[in-house]
Amino acid sequence: MTQAKLILFDIDGTLIDTGGAGARSWAWAFERLFGTKIDIAEHSTAGMTDPAIGRATFEEVMQREPTGAELARLMASYQAVLPDFVASSKDYRVLEGVQSLLEELTLAGVALGLTTGGLEAAAHAKLGRGQLNHFFLVGGYGSDSEDRVALTRTAVERGERLLGHALDLNQVYVVGDTPLDIAAAEGVGAVSVGVASGRYDVEELRAADPDHVLASLADPFPADSA
């Protein structure tokens, strides 16, 4: 098996569960800025990027496209309260197997990064409570692109710059809990690892045809990091 040199992780449903802090932050931002109550789950699906969630929700609720200024204010308001909602969330948790896997891979010298639809500041706010930020050296974020393939490619490129050389994509793993994560891995040519710790079970992830499927990150990881 090819040794992994760079492993990129999604956040929500893969590493952590914020216990609804993100949804509460979106609801607060929409009510504050536009005086409307929303349930973000009615307007988004797992794996969407934050800019895409904000845009789609605005269009459905306001019946028009947001201006650039409106979208910027919306995302800034969301990020303004997210750290507090994460900190106060009674159901926040680091998911099974995450801490030990990240420690093991780091000790083995594997570079770890993020590939997440979240805005960069939002991503680190979510990881901060679980004291996980220090594991991740690079990332691709929703603030880089609304497209999961493009932001994953950005993460790979940043990993290559960090390591100082081009990577064989067989040495790059992308780990996520949704079919969109699997599609993003395939879109850049990386090894895809689906983990059934979010909204999709093993069979649903297997239907997306990843290279590997895990029930959780407590399962043996399919990268030879020896």
User: pLDDT digits over 146-194, tens only?
Assistant: 899 999 999 999 999 999 999 999 999 999 999 999 999 999 999 999 9
Closest by CA position to 158, among listed 188, 200, 201, 202: 188
- The alpha carbon dihedral of 64, 118, 196, 189 has a sign of positive
pLDDT band at 48 (very low <50, low <70, confident <90, very high): confident
Contacts of 224 (CB under 8 A, 6+ apart): 1, 2, 3, 4
pLDDT over 50 (residue 2): no
| Predicted local confidence at residue 211, as pLDDT | 96
| Predicted local confidence at residue 47, as pLDDT | 65
Higher pLDDT, 44 or 210: 210
pLDDT over 70 (residue 223): no
Across 109-127, b (16+ Cβ under 10 Å) vs e yields: ebbbbbbbbbbbbbbbbbb
21-88 has CATH 2.60.40 classification: no
% of the chain beyond a pLDDT of 90: 81
The segment(s) of the chain belonging to CATH 3.40.50.1000 are 6-18+93-214
| Predicted local confidence at residue 1, as pLDDT | 35
How many Cβ atoms sit within 10 Å of the Cβ of residue 12?
23
6-18+93-214 has CATH 3.40.50.1000 classification: yes
Whether the Cβ atoms of residue 147 and residue 168 lie closer than 8 Å to each other: no
| Predicted local confidence at residue 44, as pLDDT | 66
Query: What would the two tokens of residue 193 be?
Result: 């690892």
The segment(s) of the chain belonging to CATH 1.10.150 are 21-88
Q: Edge-to-edge strands of the sheet including 191-195? A: 138-140, 111-115, 6-9, 172-176, 191-195, 212-214
| Predicted local confidence at residue 26, as pLDDT | 93
% of the chain beyond a pLDDT of 70: 96
The Cα–Cα gap between 213 and 225 comes to: 18
pLDDT band at 52 (very low <50, low <70, confident <90, very high): confident
Q: pLDDT tens digit string along 54-108?
A: 998 999 888 899 999 999 999 999 999 999 999 999 999 999 999 999 999 999 9
- Supply the mean pLDDT for the chain: 92
Q: Considering the entire predicted model, what is its pTM?
A: 0.93
| Predicted local confidence at residue 49, as pLDDT | 87
* Ramachandran bin of 194, using left for φ above 0, alpha for ψ from -120 to 50, beta for the remaining angles: beta
The Cα–Cα gap between 13 and 98 comes to: 11
| Predicted local confidence at residue 41, as pLDDT | 76
The Cα–Cα gap between 122 and 191 comes to: 26
| Predicted local confidence at residue 126, as pLDDT | 96
The Cα–Cα gap between 185 and 179 comes to: 10
